[in-house]
Structure 1
Amino acid sequence: MIIYPINKNDTFLKLIAFTISTSAFVLFEPAPYEFIITLVLFVAFFYGYTSYGNKHFWPMTLLVLFIQMNLISSFFVTDVKKGILYFFITCYLIISWIGIAGLSAYFQERLLPYVFNGYMIASVVSVVIGIGAYSQIIPGVDFLLKFDRVQGFFKDPNVFGPFLVPPALYALWKSSILGFYNKKGYAFFSSFLILTTGILLSFSRAAWGHYILAITIYLFIIKKSTSKRLKLMLLLLLIVIPVLIYFVTSTNISDLFFDRLSLQEYDNTRFQNQANAVDNLIRYPFGFGPGQADVMLEISTHSLYVRILYENGLIGFLAFFTFFLICLGRSVIHLIKVPSRMQGYFVIITASLIGILFNSIFIDTMHWRHMWLLLALPFMDIYQEERKK
């Protein structure tokens, strides 16, 4: 059933935009975003701003199964405190997905610009301040750097970099729609350049790969004429190549740039650690319990795939990634069937989620807030309503 909110709900949508605009400030936990999104979802449930239907059944069923596998594997935990904390955070993010998926079904396409505008504002502000810290223009904010890498208001550059990919794609899409010589279009394209710089300065190899993969998918999927697509690709090359030359030739940056491109000393240890984790699956088919990978292995798994296998077993692994693929599949269906004015949103969501699947090979992404946000947004029925019209 399609429900259209009346105009008075614009205030609530603005509250959602404000909430998302705080999502880049997570240096301390629980972050302000946690409190605000909890309040927003409580208000949404209380006032009936959520809607659920058959499309939510299988994703929710798989999430319940995933939670059950977390509970079963909890019998094998060695660090109870860490296990409870990790499980609690996972449950909180699952609840946030349920809430945002309900908001998506209720508000339909009206939700998307509020979410992405809030997301972009949060990202641009964080990057600008981070660049200021990196270039020492802004004094007293060294905590925004980690080992000479920009991390913004995050705890880890490897999370900060990927966080910027969806808003970077959004800024690029909006600038291409509005035109680069339009004031708004220029502002969006400037935001794209700022966010791209932030991704580069995170010096996260996984984030770089995530960005390249996502933007490549975006350029090949977005509905544009071949000539317009080639012009956009040429423009990006004309901008990116000089930036890369600067990175390569800058005395302060080039050493770190090439160091991050090369194989690190800890990489071999990481790969061996992941192999050991998979080997243990035979002895403990239900896993060692939530949060135990960091306790029982020499170092963190640095892979969502390995972590879920190690902590929640094969059933937990299949439950979570089937859930992920259902969400991704809905986004793909939307980008094919929605009207052209909405297609860009789902190209961005699809490209970003595929990028996260790539990033998850190298990073544990389970507790990435923006991943759960993107997984929830496809649960609207825009193309079905257009067909009714």
Structure 2
Amino acid sequence: MAAQRHLLNLAAKAAIGLAVLLAGFVKFEPAPYELYMVVLIPLWALFGLRLSVSIAPLVVLLITFNVGGMLSMLVMDKLYNTPLYLAVSLFLAFSAIFYAAVIRQRPDILKTIMIAWTLSGVVTSILGMAGFFGVPGLGLFTRYGRATGVFEDPNVFGPFLVPPTLYLLHRVVTGPVHAMAVRAIPLIIIVLGIFFSFSRGAWGLLVIGVAMELGLLLLHHRSGLFRLRILILGLAGVALLGISVAVVLQIPAVSELFTVRARLVQDYDGGHLGRFDRHILGFKLALEKPLGIGPLSFGRMLGEDTHNIWLKALMDYGWLGFASWFLMIVLSLGGGLKIMFRERAWQPFLLIAWVGLLGHTLLGFIIDTDHWRHFYLLLGMVWGCIALEARFQAGTLDAEGKTIGRPAPPPWTNRRVRKIEEQQA
């Protein structure tokens, strides 16, 4: 029985790990990630997935957000591919709920998620950089002369790499000294992947994320020795990053693109009907359209998408969608912050996911994030940790993440075996 349980646990971790890996390979919709998850979610639900009251706010707000999109679709004269777009939106909402529910049942899945995310980040970074430097046959991993990895857009590729960067940084700072070099190698690869995405949003997200990660670690750990360690490693990291950037900027093509992308305001940002002009027009229009103007209609009307998740919510999901998204973000960040510094086995993962979610929320002011797979993964991780804290407070889980009392049977355990175990309990 123990051997069977161990094998099933490994299968469960492998299934989640593969899902996270596939989240880093999105060239089109529906992506392989959707095709895999559309099988995994019902299968897991059939053999043991359970929702809890602790994640009910997330469930309700994600559903009402998507209901807003469906209502907004009613004002459209022609649907185009809107039904598929909303189907993907609803599916991604279910994916966040799924991750939260799985983490609540199995806290050890958090480590699996971050390891798989890191592996995916390393692979897609290498492919993106190989394409950028002209390796034959790998040009499909670039776009607009920028690294995209196995993503369609470099502006999604770059932010995808930030959470694994924070994870590796956390492991370097808090882990044993002898393991620093080993962990620093994938960290450097992923950071270079972010750099070669030439995404201003990703660069800003990286800087803010690293600063917040280290700042929260300083608040959490009162030891003077630990704080000195963070200071030394931080200075060493900045120096290493500076040297690396200085070296790659010696390449003319890199230097030229960096000069263009480093400008705070691009040509498409300012001017008549530029990004900021469209934002103003959109928010004015939202005051007259409680149901919005229909998903994806803004881009067809003005030639470019909203590039602002809050305006996107108003235009594509209406006032109901906007209110739902706003409340979801507030409750997610507030709930995560409330339990941030409690000594739990899942606290490091909560810190990484919370910083990532906050950073992506800020990034949402200049780009649409409602179809980013990894955004919903971060959301699910935060709510999963909130649900774990609820289990801890209820006395069914200890601070190490171990179930108090008889552990619940893992997914895919034979129903008859589970029934016998329950009768014996």
Residue 247 of structure 1: CA displacement? Answer: 4.3
Residue 356 of structure 1: CA displacement? Answer: 0.2
Distance 1:70 1:318 in 2: 12
Instruction: Specify which of 176, 181, 184 is matched with residue 179 of structure 1.
Output: 176
For the 8 Å contact 2:173–2:230, the answer to whether it is kept is no
Distance 1:95 1:342 in 2: 23
Q: What is residue 134 of structure 1 aligned with on the other side? A: 132
Gaps of 5+ in 1: none
Q: What is residue 413 of structure 2 aligned with on the other side? A: none
For the 8 Å contact 1:328–1:375, the answer to whether it is kept is no
Residue 292 of structure 1: CA displacement? Answer: 1.9
Whether 2:235 is the aligned partner of 1:234: answer yes
Gaps of 5+ in 2: 405-425
Residue 376 of structure 1: CA displacement? Answer: 0.7
Give the superposed CA RMSD. Answer: 2.0
Whether 2:330 is the aligned partner of 1:359: answer no
Residue 6 of structure 1: CA displacement? Answer: 5.1
Percent identity for Structure 1 against Structure 2: 26
Distance 2:350 2:323 in 1: 25
Alignment partner of 2:50: what SS? coil
Amino acid aligned to 2:57: W
Q: What is residue 308 of structure 2 aligned with on the other side? A: 303
For the 8 Å contact 1:51–1:105, the answer to whether it is kept is no
Instruction: Check 1:86–1:30 CA distance in 2 against 1; reply closer, same or farther (3 A cut).
Output: closer
Residue 233 of structure 1: CA displacement? Answer: 1.0
Q: What is residue 16 of structure 2 aligned with on the other side? A: 16
Q: What is residue 368 of structure 1 aligned with on the other side? A: 372
Distance 1:165 1:336 in 2: 22
Amino acid aligned to 2:268: Y
Q: What is residue 381 of structure 1 aligned with on the other side? A: 388
Q: What is residue 213 of structure 2 aligned with on the other side? A: 218
Residue 89 of structure 1: CA displacement? Answer: 1.0
Residue range with higher mean Cα deviation, 139-148 or 217-226: 217-226
Q: What is residue 419 of structure 2 aligned with on the other side? A: none
For the 8 Å contact 2:296–2:305, the answer to whether it is kept is no
Amino acid aligned to 2:146: R
Distance 1:281 1:19 in 2: 37
Residue 332 of structure 1: CA displacement? Answer: 2.2
Residue 370 of structure 1: CA displacement? Answer: 0.4
Q: CA deviation digits over 1:135-179, x for unaligned, max 9?
A: 23x311111111210001100000000000001111111233333
Instruction: Check 1:130–1:67 CA distance in 2 against 1; reply closer, same or farther (3 A cut).
Output: closer
Alignment partner of 2:340: what SS? helix
Instruction: Specify which of 312, 327, 331 is matched with residue 326 of structure 1.
Output: 331
Q: What is residue 316 of structure 1 aligned with on the other side? A: 321
Distance 1:376 1:167 in 2: 16
Q: What is residue 422 of structure 2 aligned with on the other side? A: none
Q: What is residue 257 of structure 2 aligned with on the other side? A: 256
For the 8 Å contact 1:123–1:164, the answer to whether it is kept is yes
Distance 2:338 2:193 in 1: 31
Residue 255 of structure 1: CA displacement? Answer: 1.3
For the 8 Å contact 1:79–1:292, the answer to whether it is kept is no
Alignment partner of 2:365: what SS? coil
Residue range with higher mean Cα deviation, 379-388 or 225-234: 379-388
Residue 239 of structure 1: CA displacement? Answer: 0.8
Amino acid aligned to 1:197: L
Q: What is residue 43 of structure 2 aligned with on the other side? A: 43
For the 8 Å contact 2:26–2:151, the answer to whether it is kept is yes
Instruction: Check 1:86–1:28 CA distance in 2 against 1; reply closer, same or farther (3 A cut).
Output: closer
Q: What is residue 146 of structure 1 aligned with on the other side? A: 143
Instruction: Check 1:236–1:159 CA distance in 2 against 1; reply closer, same or farther (3 A cut).
Output: same
Residue 97 of structure 1: CA displacement? Answer: 1.6
Residue range with higher mean Cα deviation, 326-335 or 61-70: 326-335
Q: What is residue 411 of structure 2 aligned with on the other side? A: none
TM-score normalised over the length of structure 2? 0.84
Distance 1:296 1:72 in 2: 19
Whether 2:287 is the aligned partner of 1:275: answer no
Q: What is residue 197 of structure 1 aligned with on the other side? A: 192
Residue 246 of structure 1: CA displacement? Answer: 2.6
Residue range with higher mean Cα deviation, 248-257 or 194-203: 248-257
For the 8 Å contact 1:79–1:295, the answer to whether it is kept is no
Q: CA deviation digits over 1:259-317, x for unaligned, max 9?
A: 11112111111111111111111221221122222222231111111111122233321
Alignment partner of 2:74: what SS? helix
Q: CA deviation digits over 1:332-364, x for unaligned, max 9?
A: 23422143x532211111111111011111111
| Larger helix percent | 1
Name the count of aligned residue pairs.
Answer: 379
